[in-house]
């Protein structure tokens, strides 16, 4: 008898969904034999937009082949359109769990169109009524839906789920809190020797709220501070143009960060400005590195920070006010960073994995 871990996302990476899939699959591996079932990541030649249900068809065939050879005890699915796969597994008497980092579709759609991005073509299964019903039926069939935040819990309840529990995402724990390192700045940024450093690390999708962070930074118009945007896509032409049109001065596009610790160690303040996001692992990462994390209420990670460190979603003025508040209290930020680190300890991945194991054992 074996267990299945099913996803069309990548498995294994420092942050984001690939870190969650790695941790979930490794936790499941401790329960016994495990088969990992994934779908291809490439679009067929000549196809501009993905077929949202292609992954389901591909994974279903792989799952049927496994079931033909060995009984399956439980299956854990991470996100994706897996409706027919889950229906088949249920027909075989398999217990099915489904991780859903749900976000607000209306908010996400509005943010995409605000930036001129055709959300409906990218995600037809989220906006077309027939495709949506087909997609949602997947996790509605699951024995238990796992969400990472109360934000996602409210979202799936609104979608008709009545069997969901919150298991937050976790964090790799740094060995020690390191001292703040000076940021190496290009010559064209005319800044004093020790500028106030605000940072964001992660994806640059339209619903990540980068627009509001840029507007807040433009309102603040600091001469002695720098905003650092980092991540794989932080210096692509689209982001460069967004910063040019919507941002204010002293913004550094840092690109890919090889070691996340090297990024966090240069910061005074981390900001997660999400319009709509199921969690936001970088909030916990920043806290684990001893940084205060200012988090939008549009990110599920708002659950893990104290109320004074939260800001309303999509509110550049409120974000600017909070950034300025902490800049004025810069001398106290190292102390608040120690508080952050203590708060983050609860979310070490080894603790979070135990919560998965408890659920699987109780429900299967």
| Mean pLDDT on 349-358 | 97
Q: pLDDT band for position 364 (50/70/90)? A: confident
Contact 270, 183 (CB under 8 A): no
Could you report the per-residue pLDDT of 21-56, keeping only the tens digit for each? 999 999 999 999 999 999 876 645 555 556 888 899
CA-to-CA distance for 29 and 35, rounded, in angstroms? 9
- Looking at residue 248, what is its pLDDT? 86
Summarize pLDDT for 152-196 with one digit per residue, the tens: 999 999 999 999 999 999 998 887 667 777 777 776 777 888 899
Two structure tokens written together for 10: 């990548």
Sequence-separated (6 or more) residues with CB below 8 Å from residue 4: 34, 35, 36, 37, 63, 66, 72, 74, 75, 76, 89, 94
Can you give the pLDDT at residue 17? 76
What is the 8-class DSSP label of residue 302? Answer: G
**235 vs 209: CA distance, rounded Å:** 17
**Residue closest to 285 by CA, chosen among 167, 172, 149, 209:** 172
Q: How far apart are CA 292 and CA 180, in angstroms?
A: 13
Contact present, 243 and 251 (Cβ < 8 Å): yes
pLDDT band for position 13 (cuts 50, 70, 90): low
159, with CB counted inside 10 A (0-12, 13-18, 19+), is middle
Q: What is the pLDDT of residues 250-307, one digit of tens each?
A: 999 988 888 888 899 999 999 999 999 999 999 999 999 999 999 999 999 999 999 9
CA terminus-to-terminus distance, the chain: 13
Enumerate residues 6+ apart whose C-beta is below 8 A from 275: 107, 108, 111, 206, 207, 208, 209, 212, 296, 298, 313, 314
DSSP element (H, E) containing 252 = strand 251-255
| Rg of the chain (C-alpha set) | 21
Domain ranges of the chain: 2-170+348-363, 196-346
Mean of the per-residue pLDDT values of the chain: 92
Q: 2-170+348-363 with 196-346: one CATH topology? A: yes
Question: Is the domain defined by 2-170+348-363 classed in CATH 3.10.20.30?
Answer: no
- Predicted confidence (pLDDT) at residue 224 exceeds the cutoff of 60: yes
Domain with residues 196-346, CATH architecture: 3-Layer(aba) Sandwich (3.40)
3-state helix, strand, coil in the chain (%, to 5): 45, 15, 35
Q: Whole-model pTM?
A: 0.92
Tell how strand 95-99 and strand 34-38 pair up.
unpaired
């Amino acid at each position: 008898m074996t267990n299945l871990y099913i996803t069309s996302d990548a498995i294994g990476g420092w942050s984001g969904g690939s870190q969650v899939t790695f941790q979930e699959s490794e936790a499941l591996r401790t329960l016994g034999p495990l088969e990992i079932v994934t779908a291809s990541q490439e679009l067929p030649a000549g196809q501009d937009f993905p077929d949202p249900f292609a992954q389901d068809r591909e994974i279903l065939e792989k799952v049927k082949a496994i079931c033909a050879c060995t009984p399956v005890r439980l299956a854990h699915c991470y996100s994706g359109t897996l409706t027919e796969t889950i229906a088949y597994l249920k027909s075989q008497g398999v217990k099915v769990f489904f991780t859903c980092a749900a976000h607000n579709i209306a908010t996400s759609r509005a943010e995409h169109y605000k930036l001129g991005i055709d959300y409906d073509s990218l995600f037809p299964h989220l906006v077309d009524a027939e495709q949506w019903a087909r997609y949602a039926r997947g996790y509605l069939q699951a024995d238990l839906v796992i969400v990472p935040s109360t934000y996602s819990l409210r979202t799936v309840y609104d979608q008709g789920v009545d069997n969901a529990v919150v298991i937050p995402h976790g964090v790799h724990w740094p060995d020690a809190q390191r001292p703040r390192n000076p940021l190496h700045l290009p010559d064209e940024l005319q800044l004093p020797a020790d500028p106030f450093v605000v940072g964001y690390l992660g994806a640059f999708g339209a619903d990540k709220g980068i627009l509001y962070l840029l507007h807040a930074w433009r309102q603040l118009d600091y001469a002695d501070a720098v905003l650092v945007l980092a991540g794989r896509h932080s210096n692509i032409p689209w982001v460069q143009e967004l910063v040019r049109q919507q941002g204010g001065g002293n913004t550094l596009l840092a690109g890919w960060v090889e070691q996340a610790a090297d990024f966090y160690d240069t910061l005074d303040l981390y900001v997660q400005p999400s319009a709509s996001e199921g969690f936001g692992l970088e909030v916990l990462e920043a806290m684990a590195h001893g940084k205060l994390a200012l988090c939008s209420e549009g990110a599920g990670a708002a659950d893990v920070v104290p109320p004074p460190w939260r800001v309303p979603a999509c509110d550049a003025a409120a974000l600017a006010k909070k950034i300025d508040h902490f800049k004025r209290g810069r001398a106290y930020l190292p102390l608040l960073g120690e508080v952050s680190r203590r708060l983050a300890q609860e979310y070490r991945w080894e603790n979070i994995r135990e919560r998965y194991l408890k659920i699987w054992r109780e429900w299967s």
